[in-house]
């Protein structure tokens, strides 16, 4: 079978290997669709500290089940989450599952960009395989993980009722975040984005205002108009840029929240006036990854028609052209969300 591998920084290569075999308690899945994530692009650039496995947003059809798996059957349409917490440590006991020390220890083999991948026993037994409702198409299935990350973030920041929310960087996850905030009851949602294509996707999803971040003062002016000069309840930094974090601290109201949602570069520093943050009571809350309950909740919102994801997929590229998929995903002016399709894609 074919699978994609990072051969060297900047080089992604399709290689052949024997199809993985499901051991006891494991399953294998034939790929239908797997989103290209910003972190995959960072890994390609050689910029991300975690393991080199790529592709973690896969939906597909169960190909084989190992001994002892009774909850899943061959042919099931599923979304698979690549990481799982232990549910046994002190961090998990506090509900901070994505910060469990063993959270990222398991992963798909060899990753989501493969004709077939193996799901480890930990993921299968701890509920990381979600059966898709027949109404959920493959492309939507591939957006469940990034949408789950946005939902987990929204839980961590405790969004107030009728909140005002501003998303800095309306890339694929920023767009998902903005839509989710809206569907969870935010009264006003705005955001910044350079790419007109992505601003248009935001406006289509009911976002109130989008501005080009290159226009000085435009974000502040839009927020001042919407909040009578108070600032927003929540500013979401959906890029990794430290200067954007600092900008966000100036856009929130007194005692407002800045959510660090995008992945910053290793070693990047925040240069902010700490006394100002202290006196204004600005809360800085990072959020990383997502949990099984939040993935199930995203799936439910989609099934109930309260969250639309599919139109964010601008390109579906076959696994055989993965380099083209990565090229497009790195071009905000050409693409919103890029999804890589596999052999199960044609099976509806």
Q: How many residues bind Zn ion (CB under 5 A)?
A: 7
The Cα 87–Cα 96 span in angstroms is 10
In the complex, minimum distance from the CB of residue 81 to Zn ion, in angstroms, rounded to a whole number: 11
User: What angle do the packed helices 172-183 and 196-204 form, to 10 degrees?
Assistant: 20
Establish if 153 lies at the interface with Zn ion (CB under 5 A): no
Supply angle C-alpha 214, 217, 219, rounded to 5: 80
CB of 88 to Zn ion, least distance (A): 6
* Cα gap 186→163, rounded to integer Å: 5
* Shortest distance, position 250 Cβ to Zn ion, whole Å: 28
Q: How far is the CB of 120 from Zn ion (least distance, A)?
A: 16
φ, ψ of residue 245 in degrees (nearest 5) = -60, -45
Ranges within 247-266 binding Zn ion (CB under 5 A): none
Cβ distance to Zn ion smaller for residue 85 or 190: 85
Provide the minimum distance between the beta carbon of 166 and Zn ion in the complex, in angstroms, as a whole number.
Answer: 22
Residue from 14, 41, 72, 89 touching Zn ion (CB under 5 A): that is 89
**Could you give the CA distance from residue 325 to residue 43 in angstroms, rounded to a whole number?**
15
343 binds Zn ion (CB under 5 A): no
| Cβ(150)–Cβ(169) below 8 Å | no
**Minimum distance between the CB of residue 103 and Zn ion, rounded to whole angstroms?**
7
269-307 core/surface letters (b: 16 or more CB in 10 A; e: else): eeebeeeebeebebeeeebebbbbebbebbbebbeeeeb
Beta-strand pair 313-318/337-341: parallel
Residue 37 interacting with Zn ion (CB under 5 A): yes
Rank residues 33 and 92 by Cβ distance to Zn ion and give the closer one. Answer: 92
d(C-alpha 212, C-alpha 298), whole Å: 29
Given the complex with Zn ion, which of 254 and 331 has the nearer CB atom? 331
Question: How far is residue 40's CA from residue 46's CA, in Å, rounded to a whole number?
Answer: 10
Cβ proximity to Zn ion: between 89 and 194 the closer is: 89
Question: What would the x/- binding string for Zn ion be over residues 260 to 299, using CB under 5 A?
Answer: ----------------------------------------
Which of 339, 300, 317, 347 lies closest to 139, judged by CA?
Answer: 339
Binding to Zn ion (CB under 5 A): which residues in 90-119?
A: 92, 100
Question: What mask, x for binding Zn ion by CB under 5 A, covers residues 69 to 88?
Answer: ----------------xx--
Least Å from the CB of residue 90 to Zn ion: 8
Contacts with Zn ion, residue ranges (CB under 5 A)? 37, 85-86, 89, 92, 100, 146
């Amino acid at each position: 079978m074919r699978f994609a591998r990072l051969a060297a920084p900047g080089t992604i290569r399709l290689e052949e290997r024997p199809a993985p075999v499901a051991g006891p308690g494991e399953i294998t899945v034939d790929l239908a669709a797997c989103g290209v994530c910003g972190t995959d692009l960072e890994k390609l650039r050689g910029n991300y500290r975690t393991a080199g496995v790529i592709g973690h947003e896969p939906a597909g059809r169960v190909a084989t089940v190992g001994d002892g798996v009774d909850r899943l059957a061959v042919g099931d349409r599923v979304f698979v989450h690549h990481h799982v917490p232990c549910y046994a440590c002190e961090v998990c006991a506090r509900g901070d599952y994505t910060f469990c020390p063993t959270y990222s220890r398991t992963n798909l083999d060899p990753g989501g960009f493969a004709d077939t991948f193996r799901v480890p026993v930990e993921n299968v037994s701890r509920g990381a395989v979600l059966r898709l409702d027949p109404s959920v198409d493959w492309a939507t299935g591939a957006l469940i993980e990034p949408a789950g990350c946005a939902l987990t973030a929204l839980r961590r920041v405790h969004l107030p009722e009728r909140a005002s929310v501003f998303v800095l960087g309306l890339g694929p996850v920023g767009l998902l975040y903005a839509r989710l905030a809206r569907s969870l009851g935010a009264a006003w949602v705005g955001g910044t984005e350079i790419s007109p294509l992505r601003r248009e996707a935001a406006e289509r999803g009911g976002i109130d205002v989008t501005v080009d971040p290159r226009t000085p003062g435009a974000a502040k002016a839009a927020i001042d108009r919407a909040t009578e000069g108070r600032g927003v309840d929540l500013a979401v930094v959906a890029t990794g840029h430290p200067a954007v974090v600092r900008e966000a601290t100036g856009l929130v109201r007194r005692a407002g929240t800045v959510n660090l949602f995008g992945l910053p570069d290793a070693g990047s520093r925040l240069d902010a006036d700490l006394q100002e943050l202290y006196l204004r009571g600005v809360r800085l809350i990072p959020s990383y990854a997502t949990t099984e309950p939040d993935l199930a909740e995203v799936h439910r919102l989609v099934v109930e028609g309260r969250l639309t994801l599919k139109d964010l997929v601008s390109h579906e590229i076959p696994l055989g052209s993965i380099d083209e998929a990565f090229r497009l995903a790195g071009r905000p002016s050409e693409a919103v969300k890029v999804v890589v399709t596999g052999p199960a894609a044609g099976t509806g």
